[in-house]
């Protein structure tokens, strides 16, 4: 970064912008709503992005490009090949890397003014207040209801602005929750029953929609940080990508809201898995089973190559298990292979024979590696991950079924 020139214009309070910064942000600075003073504000701002996925990727990229000085990224997951069509912060070389590590490397390469703080953990009631407290604003990019309610409640308790968005298939929505002006619970007092609303892995998502809504979140964040324009507070923007239509609906703070209402009954964080009717979240395996699942199964020898097993489809001594989602399974599959989606596998173990050799399949080998480990932990001593998954199978030009 260039050394500050004494002739450089200064921001309020005497903060200098270097000549390099004046050049980097010049197209932004010439906006009357931004200028030198507000650019300095951005450089001094701290924003937390919850999730480095479909929404968090474009959000964090444009936060960094805009010159937001400190960006926190919270995500406990690793990059999977199936993420890359929409999670544009990550690249092929990042598959199996922690998402926060990938994010930090790419964002700091994009803009050396930016400091990226990694939070490679699951956000829960034990750490949310401590993490969120240090930031000026939160962008929510999570994809599950338990975390969504957790982030909302923490932001209300800490009086932090929250920029919220969600995406599914071809539809997106976004709104802004400002302190004292309502919250997520005013719109959705209770979560839907478990399994009622599909996630992106189940229902699908057009990749560019994530970029569209994620960058919209950044526009709203900049407006709130700088106090310019009219944020989407008390309004929700709805976008239908198939029709190309936008709608804005108004909503109001609920005076009876249990968190932000006139007489709140929730004054501390609760158990959000229980609130949403979900089983407790399991942590990453410890000890010898710690690390990226594909590396674990490889190191333990719990793998089978396509060339080893291609002639064993239909063998009475082998049971094949496809753990992808039904939509993926319909597109293409190994002939005759049983489908039990990843989220249902552990509840349907009675459908499998632990005495048989079990070959677990997914698209790339990542999800199937996780299930292979879980099967091994539950007495399936002949469970193996198909290395490379369906991608490797198709690359060998082996038979597949469709429909």
| Active-site amino acid positions | 200, 362
Of 119, 140, 114, 137, give the one whose Cα is nearest residue 55.
Answer: 140
362-367-372 Cα angle (round to 5): 95
Counted residue by residue, the chain has a size of: 403
Of 222, 66, 197, 208, give the one whose Cα is nearest residue 137.
Answer: 222
Q: Distance between CA 292 and CA 303 in Å, rounded? A: 14
Of 382, 375, 371, give the one whose Cα is nearest residue 293.
Answer: 371
Cβ distance 279 to 195 under 8 Å? no
Of 98, 111, 94, give the one whose Cα is nearest residue 60.
Answer: 111
Cβ distance 189 to 145 under 8 Å? no
Q: Where are the beta strands (DSSP E) in 271-334?
A: 303-304, 318-322
Positive or negative: CA dihedral 224, 229, 232, 237? negative
Angle formed by the axes of helices 35-44 and 207-226, nearest 10°? 110
311-325 burial: b if 16+ Cβ within 10 Å, else e: eebeeeebbbbbbbb
248-270 burial: b if 16+ Cβ within 10 Å, else e: eeeeebbeebebbbeeeebeebe
């Amino acid at each position: 970064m260039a050394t500050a020139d004494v002739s450089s214009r200064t921001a309020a309070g005497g903060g200098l912008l270097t000549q390099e910064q004046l050049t980097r942000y010049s197209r932004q600075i010439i906006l009357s709503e931004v200028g030198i003073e507000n650019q300095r504000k951005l450089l001094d701002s701290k924003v937390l992005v919850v999730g480095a996925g479909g929404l968090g990727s474009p959000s964090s990229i444009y936060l960094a490009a805009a010159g937001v000085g400190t960006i926190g990224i919270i995500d406990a997951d690793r990059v999977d090949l199936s993420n890359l069509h929409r999670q544009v912060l990550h690249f092929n070389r990042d598959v199996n890397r922690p998402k926060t590590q990938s994010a930090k490397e790419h964002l700091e390469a994009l803009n050396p003014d930016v400091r990226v703080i990694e939070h490679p953990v699951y956000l829960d009631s034990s750490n949310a207040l401590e993490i969120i407290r240090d930031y000026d604003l939160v962008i929510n990019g999570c994809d599950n209801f338990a975390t969504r309610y957790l982030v909302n409640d923490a932001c209300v308790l800490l009086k932090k602005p929250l920029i919220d968005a969600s995406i599914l298939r071809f539809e997106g929505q976004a709104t802004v929750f400002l302190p004292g002006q309502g919250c997520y619970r005013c719109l959705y007092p209770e979560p839907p029953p478990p399994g009622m609303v599909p996630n992106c892995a189940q229902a699908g998502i057009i990749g560019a929609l994530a970029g569209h809504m994620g960058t919209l979140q950044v526009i709203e964040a900049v407006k709130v940080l700088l106090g310019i324009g009219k944020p989407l507070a008390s309004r929700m923007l709805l976008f239908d990508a198939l029709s190309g239509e936008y709608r804005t609906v108004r909503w109001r703070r609920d005076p009876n809201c249990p968190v932000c209402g006139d007489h709140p009954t929730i004054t501390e964080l609760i158990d959000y898995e229980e609130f949403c009717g979900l089983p407790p979240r399991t942590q990453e395996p410890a000890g010898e089973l710690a690390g990226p699942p594909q590396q674990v199964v490889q190191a333990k020898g719990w793998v089978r190559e396509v060339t080893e097993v291609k002639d064993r489809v239909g063998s009475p001594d082998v049971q094949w298990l496809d753990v992808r989602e039904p939509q993926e399974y319909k597109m293409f599959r190994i002939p005759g292979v049983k489908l039990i989606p990843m989220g249902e596998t552990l509840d349907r173990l009675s459908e499998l024979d632990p005495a048989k050799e079990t070959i677990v399949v997914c698209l790339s080998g990542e999800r199937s590696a996780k299930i292979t480990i879980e099967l091994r932990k539950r007495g399936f001593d002949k469970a193996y991950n198909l290395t490379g998954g369906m991608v490797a199978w198709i690359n060998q030009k082996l038979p597949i079924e469709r429909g």
